[in-house]
Structure 1
Amino acid sequence: MRWWHTLVRQYPLVLATLGVAALGGVLVAVGDHDAARWVVTGYALVIAAVQAVSMIRELRAGTWGIDILAVTAIVATVAVGEEWAALVIVLMLTGGVALEDYAAGRARRELASLLDAAPRTAHAVGPDGSVADVPVDEVRPGDELMVTPGEVVPVDGVLLGLPAVFDESSLTGESMPVEHVPGDGLLSGSVNGTTGVRMRATAAAGDSQYQHIIALVREASESKAPFVRLADRVAVPFTAVAFAIAGLAWAVTGDAVRFAEVLVVATPCPLLIATPVAFLAGLSRASRNGIIVKNGGALEKLARIRTAAFDKTGTLTFGRPDVVAVTPSDGLSSDELLRLAASVEQASNHALAASIVGAARERGLRLSPAENVRESTGHGVSALVDGHTVVVGKEGFVAEAVEPTASREGCAVEPADLEPGQLAVHLAVDGAYAGVVTLADAVRPEALHTVTRLRGLGVRHVVMLSGDAEATARHVADAVGVDEYRADCLPADKVAAVQAMSDRPVMMIGDGVNDAPVLAVADVGVAMGAKGSSAASESADVVILLDDVDRAACAVSIGRRTVQVAMQAIAIGVGISLLLMVAAAFGAIPAIVGAGLQELVDLTTILWALRASSPRRSEPADAESAPRPVLVAATHATA
């Protein structure tokens, strides 16, 4: 009977209205028509008074025209002796809230799916190896945890023990299971495979990836769209037209009943219900596509985007530089050169270091420990490896360590033969130039398609803002087809560039900590949150949970579809009501029938509004395949 208590608690007026209708029906059945009239009339007037108080409060708050018709219709129908029609209007008003809640609940299901799956307990491993369940909020960094087969990883951490397979599809969009080895990072929200594993927590629950996503989902599900105010603005002329038609019908026919009959079918419930339902459906569709839109206002702005600005590294490119060539000088093999470079770089925190070390491990090379490590930030690193002094870094940094007489042909460092957008990491061993490792960052395969799709959605200008050098930025811009690009941008330069853009609204897409300021100043900030920084996600209006930049175009498409459906729902509600008002003015619709027809109008507009949860038949799928990656530059510059 829990459903009954919920119904009583949430919708008491619906039950009261049905109870009054039942009581009135019993009184009519036993022949006491006067008593039935007084019961129904009294209840309808009480509801009208309550509604009038609410109406006055909303008028004082600046919301005009929403409830005036409803109150007037109830009073008018009672005044002309159509008390049962008044009761139907009351049922329509009170039942409309329940109908809206039902429709909103359907639209919100996908938004709530992450909340339902959130882990609430973790299996903590004690010093003696015993396992005990603890609330996930009590887990602290450094705690050792057990994750059973098929269980959601409760907090961010690192894998211990043996290799294991995890499903990360809900976080990164990777459809295939991902194998991790001991020492690899684990993201909360990923699902363990078929064997139990141990892990060490690196973050508390509140600071972990999954809880961050849940916070974004909750913020999105609780938001209200400013666009809903459009219904308020439509209600003002709608109310005026309704009173004009009703007054004209009364004046021409001399029958006050016509006035009541017109107002009965003019109740603006479709305006109250359809628009928020459409926006909830749009938020729901975005969530299903791995896009968290934090509020309805951002969804409405997405529909009007005219300029799209992209960060380069990690957004249009993967942000993971790959080793594309190893070119040794005389005396070393390519494997040995890469092994020495990786042995030194394994002690460095630079982004390029991880790429070099990863390439060496992919080749199965054995790395040696590095001793006496000295790193010059932004230039290079030196260390003692297997008794040899190895220097790795930029050309100028390595040149300082090379003895001219020891280098081939007396040249300190051989210039690297680079393709547009490539980056060279030079090496010297024991004072002699040893060779170069060439790296490049891959353009996301969907980047060109994303730019093309945005133009098809009405975006007039596409711009790339990058901290990389001119040559690198130009190469990427040409590869993805943006209208213009700006290189050597610091975070402040990106902010100034977005603020200066005249064709607005402007959408900015980025992923790093340095993108947080520009995401905050853009009309709509979009963060690549799958592997990006939490700072970028927190300052953005939209967070893409999957590692797919094409979801930015998908978000624009969803925004356009949502606003279009909301406008259509308003037009349908107003249009049908106008037709019914004209028919009622000619006496074709009795008040009791008009009240029932208005309920059907409500249902029709709500069902239409729910269409925002799916794309048009003519629209492409939300995620499409794209060509293979194109290799472009990776640099030390901020991008």
Structure 2
Amino acid sequence: MAHHHASTKSAAARVKTAVRNYPVVAATVVVLGVVLILWGTGASGPAQWIASLYTLGIVGITGYGMVQDIRRGHYGLDILAVIAMLATVAVGEYIASLIIVLMLSGGEALEDYAAGRAKGELDALLDRAPQIAHRLPSGADTGGNPASGKPAAELAEDIPATEVAVGDILLIKPSEVVPVDGVLLSPAAAFDESSLTGEAIPVSRAAGDSVMSGSVNGTHAVRIQATATTADSQYQRIVALVQEASESKAPVVRLADRFAVPFTIVSLLIAGIAWAVSGDPVRFAEVLVLATPCPLLIAAPVAFMGGMSRSARHGIIVKGGAVLEQLSAAKSAAFDKTGTLTYGRPELVSVNPVNGFTGDELLGLAASAEQYSSHVLAASVLAAAEERGLPVQPAETAQEVATNGVEAFIGGRTVRVGKRRFIEEVDGSTQAVDLAPGQMVVYLSVDGRFAGTLILSDTARENAAATLERLRGLGIRETVMLTGDGQATAESMARTVGISSVRAELLPEDKVKAVAELPLRPVIMVGDGVNDAPVLAAADVGIAMGARGSTAASESADAVIVADDISKVATAMDISQRTMKVALGSIWLGIALSVVLMLVAAFGYIPAVAGALTQELVDLATILNALRALHGKTLFRRGRAGAPASAAAISGTAA
């Protein structure tokens, strides 16, 4: 009995919420009920008055908004609905007029419901944001506090996740979501990062490894030390991107509006001819009842939401329907080289000192200067020096010259590290180096004299060639590599992965210009680094790869691939093409069904009330079709050319 009472209460609460959210729908249902009761008891006069006045009130409200839109040069689909309501009132089909009002106001509720279904993956990401953290007192170890004799779990204090400070020691219980980015203190742990990267297999981490917020702990309680607050953590960045993505609505309206004017003209023509031939104004109303454009308005937003959700399931965050639309039609793709087409982890191959320097001295000075650089090669030089046990000296002054290198004053000497042209500024006798495929060179000068070179090698991603092949299969006709590296290095890498043209030795502004000059549009730009931010913003679709939402690149990009996996670029394009197909297919389905039914009504076979109810079924068919964008086959179940598909791609196709 108590259970029955609770379910009644929750049903009542749901009704209350629905009434609050959709007052026009609620009012229309009440008016329709009253009108049907009056009509059933023979009081058709009062019923007609109530229905007609209520409908005209709605026409006034809708009409005002419509006139404002037309003034702004925006011809929407409301015109048809307003004419249909006026026509049914004029010919006395007052019950049909109320059904049209219900359909128009209910369309919004229906859209919210369908969009809610389609937004499932995005909402799941938002709902999983950790709310609390278990903070341990400093000095608590895994076994607990010897002084108190209590285990760590009992010493932990629950605090809101937003209050975690950098340096706090946190306890992560089994199967809990990590609240902030941190470093693992426990000897070993396994984390499920599928909500961040789309990768289904849990990853192992050892003490000292970084742990991402949003990943789920395995079967043992572990300790981490926070390295960021919630606001600066990976997961919150991704959540912010998702919110931005799900709130963008503009392009969806545009897609339906392309069909608005032609559909309105065709509908009015059919209705006008039916009236003229039959001589009966009721026929005009009967045709227009079937022309109300809910399917056109609802289909596209639902399909786009579905496509964005499906992308999120694959670890790709797409910022809105316009991005899906552009991505589906892309004709050119430009790629940054280091860290995008390659792994971005170059290794030192050789040290070549000149002018009396030793190899260790050269590498030590290079590492001391490179510690002040954000470039990917700097990390490799520092790693190589550390491996050889060479000390890294602090600089008295250091300045990074964007895209050229670093100049630092170390131990009384001025050291320059970077590109050849940067060293040539101080020593014109700097010699160029012949490089093998995939190699890069760092030049050094000390006190204005050329001191030697470091040769590093970066390898192409194993799935880069297969991804480019897939993109060609999806309609990409031109591929370009844009890089700051030397021409020889860039060309050898382009041959390895199958890129058609190369633009090398570019500064960030040159990359922007190169993207602007590409003739085949829309253009996709794929990059990863902070210095890719300008060119990602300049492309028709900028895709930040492996950025995990935390760099400038991901903020200026239109889509963010959370995992460090280039094959997701092709997956994103595949999903966008399917989404557009479903969106346009749903719109055409709605138009086709409406036109067929209008032609039947033109011959007098569908009374106005039946027509209004039939149109509801057309809405339903269109929305169900649009929800197909949530699922569907991904073209590439396995990588081409023998490359294995990622676990995320396999799990995604199964979904």
Change (3 A) 1:373 1:127: closer
CA distance in 2, matches of 1:532, 1:359: 29
CA distance in 2, matches of 1:174, 1:562: 22
* Cα deviation, residue 529, structure 1: 3.4
Match of 2:152 in 1: none
1:50 aligned to which of 47, 61, 66? 61
- Asked whether the equivalents of residues 245 and 317 of structure 2 are also in contact (C-alpha less than 8 Å), the reply is yes
Match of 2:513 in 1: 496
CA distance in 1, matches of 2:252, 2:36: 42
Letter in 2 for 1:41: S
Match of 1:182 in 2: 207
CA distance in 2, matches of 1:346, 1:305: 44
Q: Structure 1, residues 376-431: CA drift from partner, whole Å, max 9, x if none? A: 996999x9xxxxxxxxx99x9xxxxxxxxxxxxxxxxxx999743246899xxxxx
Match of 2:174 in 1: 149
Q: Structure 1, residues 608-634: CA drift from partner, whole Å, max 9, x if none? A: 2222223458x33497796389xxxxx
Match of 1:510 in 2: 527
Letter in 1 for 2:535: V
Aligned length: 582
2:101 aligned to which of 66, 81, 90? 90
1:217 aligned to which of 232, 242, 245? 242
CA distance in 2, matches of 1:346, 1:193: 40
- Asked whether the equivalents of residues 315 and 509 of structure 1 are also in contact (C-alpha less than 8 Å), the reply is yes
Greater relative contact order: 1 or 2 (C-alpha under 8 angstroms, separation 6 or more)?
A: 1
Q: How does 1:255-334 map to 2 (within 5 A)?
A: 255-322=280-347
Structure 1, unaligned stretches of length 5 or more?
Answer: 328-336, 384-392, 397-414, 427-435, 630-639
Q: Secondary structure at the match of 1:267?
A: coil
Q: Does 1:467 pair with 2:484?
A: yes
CA distance in 1, matches of 2:207, 2:213: 16
Q: How does 1:135-214 map to 2 (within 5 A)?
A: 135-214=160-239
* Cα deviation, residue 108, structure 1: 0.5
Change (3 A) 1:548 1:511: same
CA distance in 2, matches of 1:72, 1:354: 67
- Asked whether the equivalents of residues 509 and 528 of structure 1 are also in contact (C-alpha less than 8 Å), the reply is yes
- Asked whether the equivalents of residues 282 and 559 of structure 1 are also in contact (C-alpha less than 8 Å), the reply is yes
- Asked whether the equivalents of residues 52 and 94 of structure 2 are also in contact (C-alpha less than 8 Å), the reply is yes
Q: How does 1:429-448 map to 2 (within 5 A)?
A: 440-448=457-465
Structure 2, unaligned stretches of length 5 or more?
Answer: 1-9, 141-154, 353-358, 411-416, 421-431, 444-452, 646-655
TM-score, reference length from structure 1: 0.82
CA distance in 2, matches of 1:440, 1:606: 53
Higher deviation after alignment, 163-172 or 318-327: 318-327
2:27 aligned to which of 16, 37, 61? 16
Match of 1:449 in 2: 466
Higher deviation after alignment, 253-262 or 198-207: 198-207
CA distance in 2, matches of 1:353, 1:76: 73
Change (3 A) 1:371 1:32: closer
* Cα deviation, residue 565, structure 1: 2.1
- Asked whether the equivalents of residues 529 and 536 of structure 1 are also in contact (C-alpha less than 8 Å), the reply is no
2:598 aligned to which of 570, 581, 589? 581
Change (3 A) 1:282 1:194: same
Identity over the aligned pairs, expressed in percent?
A: 54
Change (3 A) 1:176 1:477: same
* Cα deviation, residue 204, structure 1: 1.7
Q: Structure 1, residues 166-196: CA drift from partner, whole Å, max 9, x if none? A: 2233334444333333322222122222222
Q: Secondary structure at the match of 1:63?
A: coil
Q: Does 1:606 pair with 2:623?
A: yes
Q: How does 1:314-393 map to 2 (within 5 A)?
A: 314-322=339-347, 349=371, 370=391
1:539 aligned to which of 556, 561, 571? 556
Q: Structure 1, residues 546-595: CA drift from partner, whole Å, max 9, x if none? A: 22111112222222222222222222222221121111111111111111
TM-score, reference length from structure 2: 0.80
Letter in 2 for 1:89: I
1:485 aligned to which of 499, 502, 521? 502
CA distance in 1, matches of 2:47, 2:199: 65
Letter in 2 for 1:286: S
Q: Does 1:236 pair with 2:261?
A: yes
CA distance in 2, matches of 1:532, 1:265: 46
* Cα deviation, residue 322, structure 1: 4.4
Q: Structure 1, residues 183-234: CA drift from partner, whole Å, max 9, x if none? A: 2222212222222222222222111111110000000111114252232232
Q: Does 1:527 pair with 2:552?
A: no
Change (3 A) 1:622 1:602: farther
* Cα deviation, residue 60, structure 1: 2.6
Q: Does 1:66 pair with 2:100?
A: no
- Asked whether the equivalents of residues 368 and 393 of structure 2 are also in contact (C-alpha less than 8 Å), the reply is no
CA distance in 2, matches of 1:294, 1:623: 26
- Asked whether the equivalents of residues 551 and 623 of structure 1 are also in contact (C-alpha less than 8 Å), the reply is no
* Cα deviation, residue 371, structure 1: 7.8
Letter in 2 for 1:40: A
- Asked whether the equivalents of residues 263 and 581 of structure 1 are also in contact (C-alpha less than 8 Å), the reply is yes
CA distance in 1, matches of 2:123, 2:481: 35
Change (3 A) 1:579 1:125: same
Change (3 A) 1:169 1:288: closer
- Asked whether the equivalents of residues 551 and 622 of structure 1 are also in contact (C-alpha less than 8 Å), the reply is no
Match of 1:633 in 2: none
- Asked whether the equivalents of residues 237 and 549 of structure 2 are also in contact (C-alpha less than 8 Å), the reply is no
Q: Secondary structure at the match of 2:459?
A: strand
Q: Secondary structure at the match of 1:166?
A: strand
- Asked whether the equivalents of residues 135 and 169 of structure 2 are also in contact (C-alpha less than 8 Å), the reply is yes
CA distance in 1, matches of 2:342, 2:245: 28
* Cα deviation, residue 260, structure 1: 1.0
- Asked whether the equivalents of residues 436 and 489 of structure 2 are also in contact (C-alpha less than 8 Å), the reply is no
